[in-house]
Structure 1
Amino acid sequence: MPAEPAEGRVELLRINLKELEVASDVDLDKISEQMDGYSGADITNVCRDASLMAMRRRIEGLTPEEIRNISRDEMHMPTTMEDFESSLKKVSKSVSKSDLEKYEKWIEEFGSC
């Protein structure tokens, strides 16, 4: 039985986040619900942007010299739910509902590959 679209998005989130530390408040199911209609590439972009948010917070307001002097341990900050919510506001889905409807109509008329 094929996975539900939401389950597929959760799995894509897990794959994209396997190398990252995420905060305990991160709810992949909730994030997945907000990503309805997002492509795999869109999900990857959201994860990448969210993972950079912690670093952006850490260096905000610092001079280039201060940034260079931050140790690797000090840069270590987990990605939070807030990071994902901010990224979802910035990274929109690349495929519109009308594009999907056209594709589905084409499949109905001509069949799949």
Structure 2
Amino acid sequence: MCYCEDIELLSIGKAAKMLGVHPNRLRAWEKQGLIKPVRLPSGQRRYPVEEINRILGTGGMKAKPDAPGDAHAELAQDLLAIMTSFSARLYGARGGKKVRQGFRELIEGAEKAQKGEV
């Protein structure tokens, strides 16, 4: 934990763990403008404990759904992030473009199979 001007700040890993989400989900929420971390001079994100408690108190972060498929797309993004992270640990790589592309193709193939397009 870090304290800046009497504000308790959490690393992205600790904040994600408190919320029960993958750290990539916090990054996605930041891109959507749903959460705003504090940036350190090094560029690292730190999340105010008050912001995490706000999200926990409201029952979680709710993005504005544009279409029914948004939940499916969000799940696919989370699975891709988890699989990329896992493969990086398994193979000792940092999850390059080829690994991510391979998992995207795998997910697309599974979606086609589910729709009966195969």
TM superposition score category, shorter chain reference: under 0.3
Larger % of strand: which?
2
With structure 1 as the length reference, what TM-score do the two structures score?
0.25
Larger Rg computed on CA atoms: 1
